[in-house]
């Protein structure tokens, strides 16, 4: 039986952050394992033969308002300042997403667009995001028309593809959050700090784990070693239901399939991400060279196809937001809380779709909890 002081399951940002903090601040040995053959989890990227830095699990953009998280990651990388913009292919045009004043003027005749802009600003102000649910409540037929247009053209069919279900089958909060952005700001995020690590995400994780007290073991599934190791503390970023052998049932997820294609031309599309809410079976196309402005003769894109998650066949990506799923997770959480010195975190451990900054913030907060124990 191998005795391990601190065992971390998962080499993504959550696990790597904890490993770094435990090794550097507590001066304790850490063993971090991952079933994958690489570090970085779903943030893993690599430079392919064309010279493009490719994100293996879809486009990842680092953005945050949390200065402590930005400062923490900045220890391990310099940044390429990058403000992410997304466009959706709507009525034959590439339109800024979230839908904003520029989108309105692009898809509607000038007379209608001017009227909508004036009503939006006079009622809600400028540079604010208003959920389409709020537009419907106003009782103004023009704003209701706008809300219905955005729902139909931007949200409805994208949701059917992304989640495999109608919007009304999801948590109502999901529908309610779909915004119109009363602004000329085409950025997808308005966070203070935005960027792409200058050499990619994988080198960031490499530097976090490059400590003599940290041992990394890849191609190592926790389920295959758990009977042969003991640990003083376990930090588990894998699926919480899998940890408990699905004794209460499986937590539902959506998965993704990426079809990577190399094109023999400098660029394929007009920006890094183009959404296709109403056409095709894929939801979006990502073009990776935009992130670090890679200067190459060829370009690499990924077509993104949502799928049902099937155990043993594909990866978990998105927890499905429904009351019954949260209830099941809460039952697993009760069991987890009864264990001593076992901690769950990350998008699979917490059954939340974390952005990268929130995953890091969660790991930093957990470290503060345990460091005095």
pLDDT (mean) for 7-19: 98
Q: Which two tokens stand for residue 173?
A: 């909060």
Q: Over the chain, what is the mean pLDDT?
A: 95
**Predicted confidence (pLDDT) per residue in 45-83, tens digit:** 999 999 999 999 999 999 999 999 999 999 999 999 999
Rounded to whole angstroms, the Cα distance separating 22 from 6 reads: 8
Let me know if residue 262 belongs to a domain: no
Residues 71 and 22 in one domain: yes
Residues 71 and 214 in one domain: yes
Model confidence at 239, in pLDDT bands (50, 70, 90)? very high
- Is the pTM higher than 0.85? yes
Let me know if residue 362 belongs to a domain: yes
Residues 224 and 147 in one domain: no
Tokens 């430079």 sit at which residue?
47
Report percent pLDDT > 70 for the chain: 98
Let me know if residue 69 belongs to a domain: yes
Residues 6 and 40 in one domain: yes
40 is in which domain, residue-wise? 2-48+63-84+196-250+320-370
Q: Which of 129, 149, 182 is the last residue of a domain?
A: 182
Q: Which of 127, 154, 182 is the last residue of a domain?
A: 182
Let me know if residue 264 belongs to a domain: no
pLDDT (mean) for 109-113: 98
Q: Which two tokens stand for residue 372?
A: 């005095």
Residues 240 and 330 in one domain: yes
Q: Which two tokens stand for residue 53?
A: 């830095």
**Predicted confidence (pLDDT) per residue in 308-360, tens digit:** 999 989 999 999 988 899 999 999 999 999 999 999 999 999 999 899 999 99
pLDDT (mean) for 224-239: 94
Q: Which of 182, 208, 233 is the last residue of a domain?
A: 182
pLDDT of residue 176: 63
* Beta bridge mates, 8: 32, 235
Model confidence at 177, in pLDDT bands (50, 70, 90)? low
Would you say 67 and 193 are in contact if contact means Cβ atoms under 8 Å apart?
A: yes
Domains: count for the chain? 2
CATH number for the domain spanning 9: value is: 3.40.50.720
Q: Which two tokens stand for residue 343?
A: 């901690």
Supply φ then ψ for residue 57, to 5 degrees.
Answer: -115, 35
Let me know if residue 237 belongs to a domain: yes
Model confidence at 259, in pLDDT bands (50, 70, 90)? very high
Residues 34 and 116 in one domain: no
Let me know if residue 285 belongs to a domain: no
Residues 234 and 348 in one domain: yes
Residues 122 and 230 in one domain: no
Report whether pLDDT(306) > 70.
Answer: yes
**Predicted confidence (pLDDT) per residue in 125-176, tens digit:** 999 999 887 888 889 999 999 999 998 999 889 989 998 887 777 776 666 6
| Residue whose C-alpha is closest to residue 116's, from 128, 129, 103, 127 | 103
Residues 32 and 171 in one domain: no
| Residue whose C-alpha is closest to residue 242's, from 368, 118, 349 | 349
Residues 216 and 339 in one domain: yes
pLDDT of residue 140: 93
Residues 95 and 113 in one domain: yes
Residues 131 and 210 in one domain: no
Query: What sign results for the dihedral spanned by CA atoms 214, 220, 222, 224?
Result: negative
Let me know if residue 343 belongs to a domain: yes
Let me know if residue 189 belongs to a domain: no
Rounded to whole angstroms, the Cα distance separating 56 from 51 reads: 14
């Amino acid at each position: 039986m191998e005795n391990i002081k601190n065992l971390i399951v998962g080499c993504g940002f959550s696990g790597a952050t904890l490993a770094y903090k435990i090794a550097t601040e507590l001066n304790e040995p850490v063993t971090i394992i991952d079933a994958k053959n690489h570090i970085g989890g779903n943030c893993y990227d690599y430079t392919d033969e064309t010279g493009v830095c490719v994100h293996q699990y879809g486009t990842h953009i680092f953005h945050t308002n949390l200065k402590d998280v930005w400062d923490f990651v900045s220890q391990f990388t310099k940044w390429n300042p990058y403000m992410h913009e997304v466009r959706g292919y709507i009525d034959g045009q590439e339109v800024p997403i979230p839908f904003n004043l520029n989108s309105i003027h692009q898809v509607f005749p000038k007379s209608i667009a001017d009227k909508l802009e004036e009503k939006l600003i006079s009622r809600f102000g400028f540079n604010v995001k208003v959920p389409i649910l709020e537009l419907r409540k106003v009782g103004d037929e023009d704003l209701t028309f706008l809300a219905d247009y955005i729902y139909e053209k931007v949200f409805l069919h994208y949701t059917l593809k992304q989640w495999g279900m109608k919007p009304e089958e999801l948590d109502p909060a999901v529908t309610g959050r779909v915004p119109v952005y009363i602004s000329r700001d085409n950025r997808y995020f308005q966070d203070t700090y935005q960027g792409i690590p200058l050499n990619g995400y994988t080198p960031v994780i490499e530097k976090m784990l490059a400590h003599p007290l940290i041992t990394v073991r890849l191609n190592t599934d926790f389920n295959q070693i758990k009977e042969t190791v003991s640990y003083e503390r376990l930090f588990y970023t894998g699926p919480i239901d899998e940890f408990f052998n699905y004794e209460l049932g499986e937590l539902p997820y959506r998965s993704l399939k990426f079809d990577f294609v190399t094109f023999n031309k400098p660029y394929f599309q007009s920006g890094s991400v183009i959404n296709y809410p109403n056409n095709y079976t894929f939801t979006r196309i990502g073009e990776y060279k935009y992130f670090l402005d890679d200067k190459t003769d060829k370009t690499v894109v990924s077509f993104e196809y949502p799928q049902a998650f099937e155990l043993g066949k594909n990866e978990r990506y998105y927890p499905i937001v429904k009351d019954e799923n949260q209830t099941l997770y809460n039952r697993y959480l009760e069991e987890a809380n009864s264990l001593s010195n076992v901690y769950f975190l990350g998008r699979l451990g917490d059954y939340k779709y974390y952005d990268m900054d929130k995953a890091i913030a969660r790991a930093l907060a957990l470290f503060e909890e345990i460091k005095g124990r």
